[in-house]
């Protein structure tokens, strides 16, 4: 590694740390005060950076709330890309969702304090609109991945239809968990309810959906 490479690596590390710091400060303020009352200027003040620095890392205030948007949008598509040989896209997604619930993962909101996060999001039309766009982007990314993995014809409607079903299942489970946490259910109770929901989902899916895009032996 050259000296230039080392300097570049250090700069990137500092940028990641700064971005995380600003995001953590913003999240704390949002959870304490709500989304609308917290200004970017206030976030910059508490983070001890300039307003321009905040905007350099996060072009909009919504970006500060959904600071892992790209990861969230790509999650279902990534699960499909990384599925095991002999495993279908649907089985991979349902299996991953079940493991996240069993592990009480933050990916599905099974953490203490998630209810406050949901309250803040639901109280903001801007955040709810952003969430809807994220969900659409995620479904579109999944549809594109399904089409590629299945070798589907560009005019084949099936990948988009299956993507809509799988994204809808994920959203239904997320909504149920969120409602439960907001209603005061414990994480354990919300997890048990979500697992029962998954148990009810699979029998409702056709074999064509369950067996779509099985990964072949190379």
pTM of the predicted model as reported, rounded to 2 decimal places? 0.89
Residues 176, 90 share a domain? yes
Q: What is the CATH number of the domain that holds 141?
A: 1.10.357.10
Average pLDDT over residues 44-57: 97
What token pair was written down for 9? 């690596």
Residues 184, 150 share a domain? yes
Residues 159, 61 share a domain? no
Find, among 170, 169, 42, 55, the residue nearest to 105 by Cα.
Answer: 170
Given pLDDT bands bounded at 50, 70 and 90, which one contains residue 127? Answer: very high
Q: Check residue 5 and give its pLDDT.
A: 59
Q: 115 lies in a domain?
A: yes
Residues 42, 87 share a domain? no
Residues 78, 49 share a domain? no
pLDDT at residue 3 greater than cutoff 60: no
What token pair was written down for 24? 């953590």
The boundaries of the domain holding residue 28 are 3-65
Given pLDDT bands bounded at 50, 70 and 90, which one contains residue 8? Answer: low
Q: 114 lies in a domain?
A: yes
Residues 135, 36 share a domain? no
What does pLDDT average to over the chain? 93
CA 217 from centre of chain: 30
Please report, for the chain, how many H helices and E strands are present, in that order.
11, 0
Q: Check residue 7 and give its pLDDT.
A: 61
Given pLDDT bands bounded at 50, 70 and 90, which one contains residue 72? Answer: very high
Percent of the chain with pLDDT over 70: 96
pLDDT at residue 1 greater than cutoff 60: no
Residues 84, 49 share a domain? no
Residues 67, 23: contact at Cβ < 8 Å?
Answer: yes
Given pLDDT bands bounded at 50, 70 and 90, which one contains residue 217? Answer: confident
Q: Check residue 4 and give its pLDDT.
A: 55
What token pair was written down for 99? 């493991």
Q: 145 lies in a domain?
A: yes
Residues 171, 93 share a domain? yes
Residues 97, 51 share a domain? no
Average pLDDT over residues 165-169: 96
Residues 34, 118: contact at Cβ < 8 Å?
Answer: no
Q: Check residue 208 and give its pLDDT.
A: 95
Residues 89, 49 share a domain? no
- If one counts the domains in the chain, the total is 2
């Amino acid at each position: 590694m050259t000296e230039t490479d080392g300097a570049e690596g250090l700069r990137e590390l500092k940028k990641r740390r700064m971005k995380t710091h600003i995001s953590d400060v913003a999240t704390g303020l949002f959870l304490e005060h709500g989304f609308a009352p917290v200004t970017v200027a206030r976030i910059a003040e508490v983070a001890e950076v300039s307003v321009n620095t905040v905007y350099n890392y996060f072009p909009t205030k919504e970006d500060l709330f959904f600071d892992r948007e790209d990861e969230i949008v790509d999650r279902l598509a990534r699960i499909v890309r990384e599925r095991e040989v002999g495993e279908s896209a649907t089985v991979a997604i349902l299996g991953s969702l079940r493991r996240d619930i069993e592990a009480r993962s933050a990916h599905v909101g099974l953490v203490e304090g998630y209810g406050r996060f949901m309250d803040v999001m639901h109280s903001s039309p801007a955040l709810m609109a952003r969430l809807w766009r994220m969900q659409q982007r995620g479904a579109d990314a999944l549809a594109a991945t399904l089409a590629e993995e299945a070798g589907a014809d560009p005019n084949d409607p099936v990948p988009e239809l299956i993507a809509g079903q799988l994204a809808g299942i994920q959203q239904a489970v997320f909504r149920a968990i969120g409602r439960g946490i907001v209603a005061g259910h414990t994480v354990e109770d919300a997890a048990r309810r979500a697992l029962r929901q998954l148990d009810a989902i699979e029998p409702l899916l056709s074999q064509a959906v369950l067996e779509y895009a099985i990964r072949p032996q190379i």
